[in-house]
Structure 1
Amino acid sequence: MKLKLLLCFSLFTVLLSGCKNKEDNCKNDYLDFSQRDDQATGGIKMIPIKTPAGEFKVWTKRVGNNPKIKVLLLHGGPGVTHELYECFDGFFPNEGVEYIYYDQLGSYYSDQPNDTRLWTNERFVEEVEQVRIALGLNKDNFYLLGQSWGGILAMEYAFKYQNNLKGLIISNMMASAPEYNKYAEEVLGPKLPKEVFEQIKTFEKNKDYKNPKYADLLFKYYYTEHILRKPLNEWPEAVNRCFKHMNPNVYIYMQGPSEFGITGDATLKNWDVKDQLKTITVPTLVIGAKHDTMDPKHMEWMSKEVQNGRFLFCANGSHLSQYDDQKTYIPGVIKFLKDVDQNNFHPKK
C-alpha cells in the first residue's frame, strides 16, 4: 500500500512539474529574442516606407513573441505617438499578448517630412500595409488596434485590407466626423460652465487658437473631463511626454487646431464612413466611454453595424480609457483577443 501511495505521489509530482515547466517555457518563449533579427535593438525596427514623395522610415518596436496574437497599435492625433499606449506594458506581457508600438510617418520617432501630400487617409492606409508586410503579420495572427485618429485609420485599413486581419479594435472613435462635431457642439459644450463655453466659442470664431487663455480653458474644463479624467498634475508621464512630442503640422492639417471638434479647414472635417461599416466582416471590438469626446451610443451602434461586432463600454472612462478606466478597458481588450484566438468570439447584438 505504501509503495502504491508513493508511486501515486511521484506521478502527481511529475504532472505538476510538467505543467509548471510548460508555463515557464511559454513565458520563456514570449521573452526570447534570440531568434529574432531585432534582438540587438530591443525589438526596434526602422521600416522603409515608399510614398509619393519618396522613401522614408517609420519606427516600430515589438514586445514579446506570440505566433497567434500580434497587435499593431495605431496611435491617435494624427501626429502624436505610440507613447499613449505605454500602460499596456503593465498588462499584456503577463497575458502572453505580443504587441507592436508604431509611430506613423510624421510622428516623433519616425521621419517627419514636411509635405502635405503625405497626410491623406489613403496614403496612411498604404503605410500600415507596408508595415504589416515588413513585420510578417498575417490573417492568422494580425490584430489592429486604433484609438481616436488611429480608429479612423483602422477602419479605413479594414475597408481595403480586412482579408489580412484576424481581428479589429476600434477604440474611442465614431464613424463620422460631422456627427462627432455635432456631439461636441450640442452635448459636451453645453455641459461646460456657460461663460467658459462662450469664451471657447469666441476664441474659435476669431481663430485665436494660440491664445494661452484658450488652451487653459480647454485643459482645465474640457480635457480633464473628456480626454483623461484626472487632474492635470496626475496625468501619467507617458501621456504628457506624448503630447510634448506631438507634430502640430500633421495634427492641424488633418484634425484642426482644437480638440473641441474637427475645426477650420482640416482634411478630416467631412470624413464619414457610416455606410461602409456593414462591409466589415472580421471580428470587431468597438470601445466607447461614458465621458468620451465621442458619443458612446454612436459607438455602440457601430458595433451592431459591422457584421461581427462586440461593444465594450467604459463607464468611468473618457477618450483615453486605457488610463482612466483600466479595470474595464484592459480586460475587455484581452478577452476579445483571446476569444478570437480560441474561436470563441460571439458577437453581442
Structure 2
Amino acid sequence: MKPLTAVILTCFCGLMSCSSPSGDEPAEKRPDLAEYLDSAGKEDELSGGARQIKISTPKGDFKVWTKRVGNNPTMKVLLLHGGPGGTHEAFECFDSYFPEEGIEYYYYDQLGSHYSDQPQDTSLWNIDRFVEEVEQVRAALQLNKENFYLLGHSWGGILAMEYALKYQDKLKGLIISNMMSSVPAYNKYAQEVLGPQMAPAVLAEVKQLEADNDFSNPRYMELLLPNFYTKHALRMPVEQWPDPVMRMFNHMNQTIYVQMQGPSEFGISGNASLKNWDRSADLEKITVPTLTIGATHDTMDPKHMEWMATQLPEGSYLNCPKGSHMAMYDDQKTYFKGLVSFIKAVDQGGKL
C-alpha cells in the first residue's frame, strides 16, 4: 500500500491492512435516509432511477440502460460489469451494502448486453469504442471529478483502466476489481498455476476438448463446473449460486464474449481480440486514488493485483482471503468493508 495522508490513515489503513475483517461491527447508518431516497426532480424519477442513454458510435446511435440507486453529491459509483457481454445483474449484491452507507451507485448494461441495444455489427466490440461509450454515459449522468468513482470487475476492470488512462481528469476514484493489468500474465497464471491444480486426468480431458475446438460439448462444462468454476470463479456449490449470478450467465452475450475473450476458460487465446492486451507499463500514468481488489482463489493472480497497487501513484490493495473471481459473493464481508472504506476515505481526504 502507498503511504497515506494523515486524514485518510485513521479511517482507511486499519481496514485495508487486515485481510479478513470480522464484519461483526454494525454498519454506521446514514442519518439523512430521506435525502438519500429522494428522487424528486430527478430526470429518472418517474422510472425509479432507470433510464436509457443515447450513445453515438461509428455505426450509428444506440441506447444503453442505466439505473441510479440513491443520492449522494460526493460519492457516485458507476459499475462496469464483466464479460465482455455480461450484465449488471452480477452487481445486485451491492444493494445489501451501498444504500446503508449512503453511497449513490449506477447499474449499467454496456452496449450489446441485456437491457441495452444489441446491434449485430461485430466491429463495435473493441476497447476504444467501449471507452467512448463510458465517457458518453458519464456525461449523461452528470458525473464529474468531484463525485465520480468508476468500478470495473473482470473485463470491466480492463475497461476501467483504459478509461482512466484517457479520461482520469473526470475521475475522483478508481476501483479495479479482480482483473490483472496484463492478459499475457493472466494466461501464464492460468496455464502454469490454475490448470495444474486440477486432477491430471481432468485437466488432460479439458485440454483435449480445447485442442479439438469442442467447446460446445456438454462434457466441457461438466468438467469445468466442479473442478474449476466452484474453486476459482465462485466458491459455492453450483446449486447455491445466487440468483443474480445465474441470471447474469443466462443473459451473457456469447458473441461479444467469444470475440474478445475467446471460448477457453484457461486464459484468453486464439483469435480473441484481448489476448495481447497489456497496460502494466502504463499503470504509473493513472494518478487518481485507485483500489485494486484481488482474492486468494481468484482466476486472476492475486500477487499480480497486489503488485499493481505498488505501480499506481495513489494505489492500495484489498485481498479477499476466502474469495475467488466473484469475491463480492464468496468473501462478501471483506470485499464490501474494504470497498466502502476506500470510497469514504477518498471522499474525506481527496486522495491517498
TM-score (norm 1): 0.92
Q: How big is each residue's C-alpha offset from its partner over 1:161-184, in whole Å with a ceiling of 9 and x where there is no partner? A: 000000000000000101101100
SS of 2:72's equivalent in the other structure is coil
Given that 1:58 and 1:110 are in contact with CA atoms closer than 8 Å, whether structure 2 keeps it comes out as yes
Alignment of 1:161-172 (within 5 A): 161-172=167-178
Q: How does 1:1-349 map to 2 (within 5 A)?
A: 24=31, 26-343=32-349, 345-346=351-352
State the distance in 1 between where 2:350 and 2:165 align: 24
- Shift, 1:220, TM fit: 1.5
Q: Gaps (5+ residues) in structure 2?
A: 1-28
Structure 1 residue 260: Cα displacement: 1.9
Deviation larger for 124-133 or 211-220: 211-220
Distance in 1 between the 2:200 and 2:152 partners?
34
Look up the equivalent residue of 2:219 and give its one-letter code.
K
1:256·1:265 contact (CA, 8 Å) conserved in 2? yes
- Please list the CA deviations of residues 127-171 of structure 1 after superposition, one character each: whole Å capped at 9, or x if unmatched: 000000000000000000000000000000000000000000000
- Give the secondary structure class of the aligned counterpart of 1:67: coil
Please tell me the residue identity of whatever aligns with 2:302.
Answer: P
What do the CA deviations read for 1:223-272 (whole angstroms, capped 9, x no partner)? 00000000000000000000000000000000011222112210001101
Specify every segment of 5 or more residues in structure 1 that has no aligned partner in the other structure, as ranges. 1-21
Q: What is the rounded CA distance, in whole Å, between the counterparts of 1:137 and 1:201 in structure 2? A: 46
Residue 4 of structure 1 corresponds to none
Q: Deviations over 1:193-232 (max 9, x none)?
A: 1111111111111111000001111112100000000000
Cα distance in 1 between the residues matched to 2:209 and 2:309: 36
**Structure 1 SS opposite 2:68:** strand
- Aligned-residue offset at 1:23: 5.8
Three-state SS of the structure 2 residue aligned to 1:342 is helix
Instruction: After superposition, give the CA deviation of every residue in 1:42-65 in whole Å (9 maximum; x if it has no partner).
Output: 100100010011000000000000
d(CA) in 1 for partners of 2:344, 2:310: 21
Cα pair 1:336 1:345 within 8 Å, conserved: no
Alpha-carbon distance in 1 for matches of 2:253, 2:30: 43
Answer whether contact 2:30 2:102 (CA < 8 A) is retained: no
Moved more, 137-146 or 257-266: 257-266
Cα distance in 2, alignment partners of residues 326 and 345 from structure 1: 25
Question: TM-score, normalization: structure 2?
Answer: 0.91
Q: Deviations over 1:59-96 (max 9, x none)?
A: 00000000100000000000010000000001100000
* SS of equivalent residue, structure 1 residue 170: strand
Percent of aligned pairs sharing the same letter: 62
One-letter amino acid of the counterpart of residue 166, structure 1: K
Which segments of structure 1 move beyond 2 Å, counting only runs of 4 or more?
A: none
Give the whole-Å Cα distance in 1 for the aligned partners of 2:161 and 2:217: 34
CA-atom RMSD, angstroms?
Answer: 1.1
Query: Hey, what's the Cα distance between the residues in 1 that align with 2:195 and 2:180?
Result: 18
Q: 1:239 to 1:23 in 2, by over 3 A?
A: closer
Q: CA 1:59–1:190 in 2, change beyond 3 Å: closer, same or farther?
A: same
